[in-house]
Amino acid sequence: MTKFLKLLPRRKTRDEAELEYLNGAVSIYDLECREREIERGRFAQF
């Protein structure tokens, strides 16, 4: 069973998901909007 689990991709942590989301911003305005979304709990389920 552990061999099978090692083949599956590991789930991202909340910090990794937030950083990836922020790195996808295409402008300063987009970055600011994304920061506000994160502050409001966009990745709270992680």
| Per-residue pLDDT tens digits of the chain, which is 46 residues long | 678 878 888 889 999 999 999 999 999 999 999 999 999 999 998 8
Nearest C-alpha neighbor of 43 from the set 10, 27, 25, 19: 19
Is the residue at 35 inside a domain? yes
Structural domain including 31 reads 12-46
Is the residue at 4 inside a domain? no
Quote the pLDDT of residue 26: 98
Quote the pLDDT of residue 7: 86
Is the residue at 7 inside a domain? no
Is the residue at 3 inside a domain? no
pTM score, two decimals? 0.76
Alpha carbons 1 and 24: distance in angstroms, whole number? 36
Quote the pLDDT of residue 45: 87
Numbers of helices and strands, H then E, in the chain: 3, 0
- The number of domains in the chain is 1
